[in-house]
Chain A
Amino acid sequence: MTEFLQQLLNGVLLGAIYALIALGYTMVYGVLRFINFAHSDVFMLGAFAAWVSVEKLGLPTRSVPGGLAALLAAMSVCAVLGVVIERLAYRPLRQRSTLTVLITAIGVSLLIQNVAQSPRLGFGPNPRAFPELFPSSQLHVGGLTVSTHQLVVLAVALVLLAVLYWIVHRTRIGTAMRALSFNATAASLVGIDNDRVISFTFGLGSALAGAGGVLYAMNYPSIDPLMGTLPGLKAFVAAVLGGIGNLPGAALGGLVIGLVETFVSGTRLSTFRDAIAFGILIAILLFRPAGLLGRPRVEKV
């Protein structure tokens, strides 16, 4: 039983991180109807931004203010990056086919990975130890082991989800985002500046991915330039599972993927862990292509 609860806890925490990344995919899909392949690399850069702010800029480790500062730094760097990527690579393609944009996104993803892997321009290909951002200790609660890092993950994820909910439902720009994802033409007709909303969406989604990167790195000892690929793909699956374009769906999908993965890791199938997410993806697309919370659409002819 404790074993089960422990796994449940670990799964929820991993799921929370996937949820943060999945939200970025879903938001961008909502406003632009395409899969931002480079999102997983923004996630990776989030982890590296925190690493730089500690290792190179000297933010204190094992301190709550230091950790929060590193987290905020990572989120800001990623937000800016997301906006810049959209501005330079995607905006000129606004009227082009989905595939053109998708391939561009793959190109951007490869570019980020390769620059990051370059010893001269980036961080080099080798993994680096990730510093302990927050004070770390293990707490024992009735047989369960919880690290303070895990608590940080939970707290940060919950706060960010609350903030996101507030932005989307209570602010003008959030309303504009929802309008845009409902109907882009109508949105621009009622005077919404689509470009500004899209920039904002990229910034917001990327900031969440950056936070996800830091939280992910905190629970894994090392970071490297290709670390984004797998979590990114899994988060994407989470977004599709929840119903792409649907924010609560992305959060739910993240949780489901995190839980499934954690429970599978505990079994003999653990080496197939990374294939599980894709199995889920294929199953959803076959049986419920609109996702758990999404609504099917009929193509107009």
Chain B
Amino acid sequence: MAIPKAQRWLLVALVLSGAASAVSGSIDPYFLDVVMGVGVGVVLASSLNLINGFTGQFSLGHAGFMAVGAYTSAMLSTVVAPRMGWGAGALQWVFFPASLVAGGLVAALAGLAVGAPSLRLKGDYLAIVTLGFGEIIRVVLQNVDAVGGARGLTGVPTHTNLLWTFGTASLTVYTVWALLESTRGRGFLAVADDEVAAEAMGLDTTRYKITAFGIGSFFAGVAGGLYAHLKGYLNPGGFSFEKSIEIVVMVILGGMGRHAGVVFAAILLTLLPEGLRELGSRSIPNPFGGPAWSLDWIKDARMILYSLLLILLMLLRPEGLFHRRQPRRPSS
């Protein structure tokens, strides 16, 4: 493998996240919120990239798995932790990551439950089934009073900070990268390229796909936990299939199965709406005198631009913005 000490990069990233976290007290809270949202976006996009990009599946249910993780870890923090007295002080530093992992594991189970039966399906069928599963998860959450039902779940402690978000983001990107960067891992790409040939070469394609679903959903679940403890409340409506599409668009824009491209796209697409919202609340002075020109319409046009961008991207550059039109770097 090209970088024998790949872990070094991971370490640097983790230390940087810690350092940033230590000084986060002096960062504007709104900005901090946006930045942490970026971290969550990176986790979501990179994990979906494993499923949709590298393994060539098409999941439209990522938000559903995110919801499972979010609710699991939020319930642990709001119900279990206070009862056991784990929510505060030093114990919080153990309990919170543990609850994130728990959320990830439950999401992974959900992912396996969805993946296993759906994997004989291809392309658009798989997309619809995963979409369906995502919606079922949402409908169920809306109907279970114990987790707040349609009103949502409030009072989630806001444990998420820069260390957790960027630590998780770095770990996710590293894991997906390292997994792929091996002879066994190249099998994911082979499965994406040609299932018949992959089976003929001895690859259990079903197992590859299920693994991708499991790992991808695990990280989606962890992202959900981060999100829950970032916002402090959860609302089932926030995990609708529009959210799944948003994550899919990150993966596509980043060039399906590109590590860095997808990270970059996740950053861009998380910042863009915030930027446009910010811009929309301003107005520019009228050079001819008279009332200032309001930029309010931008708020309105935001989603229209977004959908147009998606269509144009598919028509003009279906391989994504950051695709180099070159082969992937060989793994040895």
Contact = CB atoms under 8 A, between A and B. Distances in A.
Interface string B127-157: 1110111011001101100000000000000
Looking at B58, B117, B124, B127, the one whose CB has the most chain A CB atoms below 10 A away is: B124
B58 A102 contact: yes
A183 interface: no
B124 A34 contact: yes
A272 B143 contact: yes
Contacts of B123: 97-99, 102
B197 to A, nearest CB: 9
Contact of B139 (A96, A97, A274): A274
B310 interface: yes
Which secondary structure dominates chain B's binding surface?
Answer: helix
B303 A110 contact: yes
A281 B128 contact: yes
A264 B114 CA distance: 24
B120 to A, nearest CB: 7
Given A103-B252, A272-B140, A279-B136, 18 more contacts: A93-B315, A98-B124, A99-B123, A102-B127, A103-B248, A107-B307, A107-B311, A110-B242, A114-B304, A114-B306, A121-B304, A236-B128, A240-B125, A271-B143, A275-B136, A281-B132, A282-B118, A289-B120
8 contacts: A96-B318, A103-B314, A106-B248, A108-B307, A114-B306, A119-B300, A281-B132, A285-B125
Interface in A76-105: 89, 92-93, 96-104
A99 B128 CA distance: 12
B301 interface: yes
8 smallest A-B Cβ distances: which pairs?
A278-B132, A107-B310, A110-B307, A111-B307, A107-B311, A275-B139, A114-B303, A104-B314
A120 B280 CA distance: 15
A275 B142 CA distance: 11
Contacts of B135: 233, 274-275, 278
A164 interface: no
Contacts of B117: 282, 285-286
Contacts of A92: 315
B311 A89 contact: yes
Given A104-B315, A289-B121, A272 B300 contact: no
B88 interface: no
Interface in B260-282: none
A120 B132 contact: no
A110 B127 contact: no
A154 interface: no
Given A119-B300, A282-B133, A104 B127 contact: no
A25 B242 CA distance: 21
Looking at A102, A117, A119, the one whose CB has the most chain B CB atoms below 10 A away is: A102
Which secondary structure dominates chain A's binding surface?
Answer: helix
Contact of A285 (B118, B140, B245, B300): B118
B129 A103 contact: no
B31 interface: no
Contacts of B125: 240, 285
A89 B303 contact: no
Contacts of B179: none
A118 interface: yes
Nearest to B309: A107
A115 interface: yes
Given A278-B133, A281-B128, A282-B129, A272 B139 contact: yes
Nearest to B135: A278
Nearest to B120: A289
B288 interface: no
Interface of B: 58, 117-118, 120-121, 123-125, 127-129, 131-133, 135-136, 139-140, 142-143, 196, 242, 245, 248, 252, 297, 300-301, 303-304, 306-308, 310-311, 314-315, 318
A275 B128 contact: no
Contacts of A102: 58, 123-124, 127
Looking at B121, B132, B196, B318, the one whose CB has the most chain A CB atoms below 10 A away is: B132
Nearest to B134: A278
A110 B60 CA distance: 15
Nearest to A269: B143
Interface in A194-237: 233, 236-237
Contacts of B315: 89, 92-93, 104
Contact of B311 (A98, A108, A121, A289): A108
B318 A275 contact: no
A120 B142 CA distance: 32
Contact of A111 (B118, B300, B311): B311
A236 B135 CA distance: 14
A189 interface: no
Contacts of A96: 318
A233 B318 CA distance: 25
Given A275-B136, A285-B129, A35 B300 contact: no
Contacts of A117: 303
Contacts of B311: 89, 104, 107-108, 111
Nearest to B303: A114
B124 A35 contact: yes
A232 B152 CA distance: 26
A103 B310 contact: yes
A95 B172 CA distance: 35
A282 B132 contact: yes
Interface string A268-301: 0001101101110110011001000000000101
A101 B310 CA distance: 11
B136 A278 contact: yes
A106 B245 contact: yes
